[in-house]
Structure 1
Amino acid sequence: MESDDRKLFVLDTNVLLHEPLAIYSFQEHDVIIPMTVLEELDNIKDRQKDVSREARVAIRTLEDVFREATPEQIAEGVWLGQRGGEHSTGRLAIFADHNLPEGEAVFTNKENDNRIINAALYLQKSHPERQVVLVTKDINMRLKAKGTGLKHVEDYRTDQLIDDIRLLAKGFQRLEGDFWERVGEVDTTSSGRDVYHWVAEEKVPDTHINQYLLDEQEQFAGRVQGRDNGRLQIKDIGRERLMGRHAWGVHPKNIYQAMALDALLDPTLDLVILTGPAGCGKTLLAMAAALELVIERGIYERIIVTRNTPEIAESIGFLPGTEEEKMMPWLAAVTDTLEVLHKHDVSKEGSLQYIMEKANIQFKSVNFMRGRSLQNTFVLLDECQNLTPSQLKTIITRCGEGTKLVCSGNLAQIDSTYLTPVTSGLTYIVERFKNFEGSANIYLNGVIRSRLASFAEENL
């Protein structure tokens, strides 16, 4: 590529696995794909792993760009242009990093990360007038690259919506003092049993749709329903009424569980996101609400429970039985919850069998959710902190009419090699959906599993 003031971004394989369309995210700058990255994508695309789909999408994306290009044009760089909703004015090139000139390689072994770092260092030396940036989600690789003299090394942060996990929306806001003294006179309307107040937006700043509002006096509890001409429409729920929510015999133990249960039982909300530490009741509340809405109220026809685990795609095929039976080891948290909900029944096993059939509870692998269209279904996606934004998008877009999706997870328990709390798909959807009228997000503060679990969460 000729010299100019545009940057040269060298992409690592994990960037394309995290976001297959990442090549379009660098605006007017040029993108380099080392040959080693193509080889790694080729090795991954046929594996029985969640990332195999991302590898195939990345390969097809590259093929679309280079479809009509000659070998010389591929080496020099092909203009990216626009693909779907993605757009870039830079160019994309493939760099043959296997045969660098003699003496140019800092690392002499054939390890893939080292080859990619060698390529970035060579480009930095060959184009001193341009800023060469290695982009990788591998922390150790970033350290190695900096240690060998690469001046610019970055994480891929294009889909990162916040810089600090402490800034993540919690789904509720505590207001100082007394709510009524704060807002003064309001316009009030009613619709059936529900009461709504219209409040000037400046009286309750920094709110988003379906955010819960609580005051310090522990008297008022409401939920933002909408905004119009500088005013907020707030549904007056009342703290006692909120704490009185219950589902399938489960009553909230604190205000956070009460808000979560209110959102879970509201059929007008298509998406409910539950975050919080281990033991705060995410799975218990979701399953109780699912049984209530399917069996007691008949709003949904079935319950589908699914989750992501890094090893599930490789291991599930070797286990005996049906898909549901294969999934049971990874969904033990859900089956444990069902047992807790029916532990006082005369015949617990009989009750569980009856409930499984009555509610049409199905346990599915995330891999088999793709391509489906789910209608009139309550879907629980557990442990989704390990999903990337693109993986979550794939699952959310499966939800059809009359389907409610509950995403739950703990950002302190991420198992993925390349995800952090700020880049997790769970964080991404919390921020993206916070102003969507059909969704609510609740952070369940406090561990109620046991005093041992509570002490461990606070002190370990």
Structure 2
Amino acid sequence: MKKIFVLDTNVLLNNPYAIYTFEDNEVIIPLAVLEEIDSLKTKNSDLGFNARETSRILEEVRTQGNLHDGVKLENGGIIKIFINGKLRLPEGLSSSKMDNRIVSTALHIKDENPAKEVIMISDDINLRLICDAYELKAEEHNSTRLKEEDIYSGFKEQFLPAELIDLFYQNDHLTAADLADSKLDFEQLYVNEFLQLTASDQNKKTALARYDGKELVKLRYNEQQPAKIRALNREQQFAFELLLDDEIKLVTISGQAGTGKTLIALAAGLNKVVDQGNYSKLLVARPIIPMGKELGFLPGDLEEKMAPWMQPIFDNLDFIVHRNKDSRFAYQNLLNSELIQIEALTYIRGRSIPDQFIVIDEAQNLSLHEVKTIVTRAGEGTKLIFTGDPNQIDNPYLNLHKNGLNYLAHKFHEQKIAGHITLKEGERSELAEVASQLL
């Protein structure tokens, strides 16, 4: 039986192409949703960009038929705009709230189609709760929701006989033939996945390795200290392996506050730009969701408007500057030489940027469509780094299982040009570490 899916505004704002993800079923967009999207189009933010993209897609569909009666999509589905000027809201729902009008539309569609299953699709938990109260089936938009087992860490521990670990140290690699009699199967590994090899006997011998798609190899950069920043644990070592390898074009780094993800990304970027000259510029960007206001409404010039939200970037750069006596690393010198640029993400998306080392911080606040927009516009010779904490999301319509950072790591985990690592150990002060455990 064909189903009817009624879309909430946030579904389209998270993914303007969402109308194509419901197979050959009927998709209905309430007029109230269009009104909300229209009110957001002028915003100079990620939200505004997605609103404009949604309008553009619906305009393309409109040219192929009548959206009131329904337009057939390439996947066999039907898309409609629902208009009902005489819509009555159920008792208890105020018409002043747009969410209530959207729910009422879905309830009306359900009453008009008793033979079909009508499902409200929303990434808003509260709206789904309202639907439940009125016995209307509601679901999260699950076309790109990751299961727990799909969240990729980039690392695993493997127990091996001590003689194989000795062989690894002797040859700097282990082949499939070397491991033929062990429990480690290369078919279970992903390219650029990291391993801690631990002796299965009592001698506790260990080794750190990376799977390069053919064999296990030793770490190449574990002795390096880019911008005089030293890896303090194995996961940070793994991160530097990905960050300093120019053959790897896309790196995703997850970790809670204090794990050093932003610091090591910036240190690697400065090393590649200032010391080695492998890239023309270090570009650092952040989405501006937590600021709560459009930049245009804040006082001061662009740099002053961005300062509160970009301060963690400045703090990390200050830490690096104080580690380096070389005047080339002085922050103002870096800005004056145009070797480093710090931007709100809104101002760089849509540009094709070649030959740059780009760090996108707080990437857990990006939707799937937003990371796609950024990655697909990467210019020739550019390396993209996405860092963030998927457990600390400010976007109300994203969560641990549905955010751009985890989605990117999952989609690219089999690609030779990409790598991911999750940082687990906090490297904060003793006071901060104790507070995080007690409070």
Is the shorter-chain TM-score for this pair beyond 0.5, marking a shared fold? yes
2:8 to 3, 9, 12: 12
Q: What is the TM-score with the length of structure 1 in the denominator?
A: 0.86
Cα 1:29–1:271 shift into 2, 3 Å: same
Q: Which amino acid aligns with 1:43?
A: S
Q: 1:185 to 1:296 in 2, by over 3 A?
A: closer
1:85 paired residue number:
none
Structure-2 residue corresponding to 1:121: 107
CA distance in 1 between counterparts of 2:160 and 2:229 reads 31
Contact 2:11 / 2:122 at 8 angstroms: preserved in 1? yes
Which residue number corresponds to residue 389 of structure 2? 410
Conserved? CA contact 2:274–2:328, under 8 Å: no
Could you tell me whether the CA contact under 8 Å between 1:303 and 1:377 is conserved in 2?
Answer: yes
Report the CA distance shift for 1:396/1:346 in structure 2 as closer, same or farther (over 3 A): closer
Query: Deviation of residue 338 (structure 1)?
Result: 1.7
Matched ranges for 1:102-141 at <5 A: 107=93, 109-141=95-127
CA contact (8 A) 2:221 2:244 kept: no
- The answer to whether structure 1 residue 163 and structure 2 residue 147 are counterparts is yes
Cα distance, 1:349 vs structure 2: 11
Cross-structure match for 2:217: 235
**TM-score, normalization: structure 2?**
0.89
Alignment of 1:61 onto 2:57: yes
State whether residues 256 and 391 of structure 2, in contact with CA within 8 Å, keep that contact through their aligned partners in structure 1: yes
Name the residue aligned to 2:294.
314
Report the Cα offset of residue 49 of structure 1. Answer: 2.8
- Checking the alignment, whether the CA contact within 8 Å between 1:370 and 1:395 is kept in structure 2 is yes
Gap runs ≥5 in structure 1: 82-87, 227-231
Work out the CA distance in 2 between the residues paired with 1:350 and 1:287: 12
Secondary structure of residue in 1 paired with 2:77: strand
Q: Secondary structure at the match of 1:363?
A: strand
Aligned residue number for residue 32 of structure 1: 28
Alpha-carbon distance in 2 for matches of 1:350, 1:418: 39
Aligned partner (choices 199, 211, 229) of residue 250 of structure 1:
229
Q: 2:184 pairs with 203, 206, 210, which one?
A: 203
Change (3 A) 1:434 1:308: same
Within 5 Å, which residues of 2 pair with 1:271-282? 271-282=250-261
Residue 420 of structure 1 aligns with an amino acid whose one-letter code is N
CA distance change for structure 1 residues 28 and 357 in 2, over 3 Å: closer, same or farther? same
Contact 1:303 1:379 survives alignment (8 Å): yes
Gapped regions of structure 2 (runs ≥ 5): 199-203
* CA distance 1:344–1:387, change in 2 (3 Å): closer
Instruction: Report if the CA contact (8 A) 1:23-1:31 is conserved.
Output: yes
The amino acid of 1:427's aligned partner reads N
SS in 2 for 1:107: coil
> Whole-Å Cα distance in 2 between the matches of residues 381 and 171 of structure 1?
19
* 1:345 CA displacement: 6.0
Paired residue secondary structure (2:57): helix
Change in CA separation of 1:350 and 1:122 when aligned onto 2, cut-off 3 Å? closer
Structure 2 CA distance for partners of 1:103 and 1:141, relative to 1, 3 Å: closer
* 8 Å CA contact retained: 2:156, 2:195: yes
Distance 1:334 1:265 in 2: 20
> Aligned partners of 2:127 and 2:95: how far apart in 1?
15
The CA deviation at 1:403 is: 1.2
Q: Which residue of 1 aligns with 2:319?
A: 340
2:70 aligns with one of 68, 77, 83:
77
Residues 394 and 122 from structure 1, CA distance in 2 versus in 1: closer, same or farther, beyond 3 angstroms? same
Deviation at 1:132, TM superposition (A): 0.4
Within 2, Cα distance between the matches of 1:115 and 1:395?
34
**Corresponding residue for residue 210 of structure 2:** 223
Confirm or deny that 1:172 pairs with 2:155: yes
**Which residue number in structure 1 is paired with residue 201 of structure 2?**
none
Distance 2:324 2:225 in 1: 19
